[in-house]
Structure 1
Amino acid sequence: MTNRSVIFFDIDGTLLTHNKELPASTKEAIFTLKELGHEVAIATGRAPFMFEELRQELDIHTYVSYNGQYVVLNGNVLHTNPLHIESLEKLTAAALENDHPVVFMDHEDMRANVPEHDYIKQSIDTLKIDRFPTHDPHYYKGRDLYQTLLFCTEGEEKQYAEQYDAFDFVRWHPVSLDIVPKGGSKAKGIQKIVDALGFPAESQYAFGDGLNDLEMLSTVKNSVAMGNGEEQVKEVARFVTKSVEEDGILHGLKMVGLL
């Protein structure tokens, strides 16, 4: 097949409904894409261990995780961009004084710097995963971390964003944000994959719905925002499909001519 394309899918609110269910039409569409010879990949803010079952179910082995900080191509690590540990240590100490817990995350696990906190439970529970961060305040020492979760209410993160310029802060829940390396994004992770595979811009597609998809959807030429997506996301995308609950992936793939 000469006109192969590469398609990147966000997970939450894109592949999965808000109840974290995979629509049958989406699963069928993914396998049809693969049968047609296209490259199918995932681009998510999640850690690799948070969507292992989904990768197995969809037989997908290429992905951008941690919003671009840990990139895998055909099962092999292609690119990593760890957090600046010294800056993270200072931020963690300041956050602890403000009763703002953090969860340290590498490619294998996640550990909290406090034994328990309601904000951690509130946000992690919405992911509906079978893993919860255990307590290890020193987990950041001696290992590469690709993302850290900061738990605070909207607006409280401003003090950290102003003081710690080594990081970007991306909110994904009313009481939780992703801390990622400054300038790191899904778009940059995607670029590593398309460079390795040699896909031209016109053969690149991306689907997303959230604020951490903004750079991806404004960079990838054929970008599709979900109908349930944030208004800012719809504004930067080239196309807008139906919501994930309304077979939005299948509709969107037909809209752009891939199916």
Structure 2
Amino acid sequence: MSYKIVFFDIDGTLVNEEKVIPADTIAAIHELKATGVEPVIATGRAPYFIKPLAESLGIDSFVCLNGAYAVYRGEVVYKRVIDKESLEALVQLAGTHKHSLVFEGEHSFFSDTAECPMVTDSVLSLKVELPGHDPEFWKSNDIYQVFLHCETPDEEKYAELTDRFTLIRWHKQAIDVLPAGGSKAQGIEAMLKQLNIPVEESVAFGDGLNDKEMLKFAGLGIAMGNSNPELLPFADYVTTHVDERGIRNGLIYAGLLPQEAAVK
């Protein structure tokens, strides 16, 4: 198969636990671009979280907010916002349980709580700035994703909202709240249609639970060697660890970089 486009998750895929891009990953992405294959970031992060990383890799196309917002070379090609009625239901329920929310818009994000240790811990783990404080932000702005802050035993308190939302845990104290059925695969599908590229000619790399649909959807789904074990059944191939030339070795498996560069 001749692949034309490759989608890369960020955390645990392009960057390691220290949120650093391994030098060989940077080299591999630049080598991939030189072949004419399009590299695209596919992440749960918002667009304003990824700018420095994207620039360092020379990537200007991305699927962000777990598929709810997609941009190809500076042009927005897909948006999926959360409806206000669903947001209101979430706000009311989270308020009842005293769980903090962070609302992610197109250009900025805000918390409904002035100070919350869970918000601080989860957001700083991404090595980005903390959100502003505006409990009303969701009312007057398009919201694509919400961080719900609670620990695992409290997740069941939101079971009544599963017809409105997809909930995916990404931190011990935080959950991504997406529109029902939302996933990176939706944004990827929209971008492929825009570019008239068959899904069979796409590759996706990931390591986390929010990468399941993406790896299953792509023509070739590659899981990192450091992946959550629950992701592996959805992958066509498991490459090496992010710090062990995992991106390069996966691209070699896909036939997109020379075989002689592989390291086992």
TM-score, normalised to structure 2's length?
A: 0.94
| 1:134–1:6 distance in 2 versus 1, CA, 3 Å | same
Equivalent position of 1:45 in the other structure: 44
Distance 2:15 2:113 in 1: 30
SS of residue paired to 2:139 = coil
Correspondence 1:200 to 2:198 = yes
Equivalent position of 2:220 in the other structure: 222
Distance 1:214 1:164 in 2: 18
Matches within 5 A, 1:80-159: 80-129=79-128, 131-159=129-157
Superimposed CA distance per residue, residues 35-64 of structure 1 (whole angstroms, 9 cap, x where no aligned partner): 100011010000000001111111211110
Equivalent position of 2:237 in the other structure: 239
Distance 2:184 2:35 in 1: 25
Distance 2:156 2:4 in 1: 40
Superimposed CA distance per residue, residues 101-150 of structure 1 (whole angstroms, 9 cap, x where no aligned partner): 00011011111101111111111111011x11121100011211000110
AA aligned to 2:228 is E
Structure 2 gap segments, 5+ residues each: 258-264
SS of residue paired to 1:218 = helix
Equivalent position of 1:19 in the other structure: 18
- Divergent runs of 4+, >2 A: 161-164
Identity of aligned residues (%): 41
Distance 2:162 2:231 in 1: 26
TM-score, normalised to structure 1's length?
A: 0.96
Distance 1:90 1:187 in 2: 26
Distance 1:143 1:95 in 2: 19
AA aligned to 1:97 is T
Equivalent position of 2:172 in the other structure: 174
Distance 2:221 2:15 in 1: 18
8 Å Cα contact 1:169/1:177 also seen in 2: yes
Distance 1:94 1:232 in 2: 29
Give the CA RMSD over aligned residues.
Answer: 1.3
- Superposed displacement of residue 158, structure 1: 1.9
AA aligned to 1:187 is A
Distance 1:18 1:6 in 2: 26
SS of residue paired to 2:78 = strand
Q: How many residues align?
A: 257
With 82-91 and 169-178 compared, the bigger mean Cα shift is at 82-91
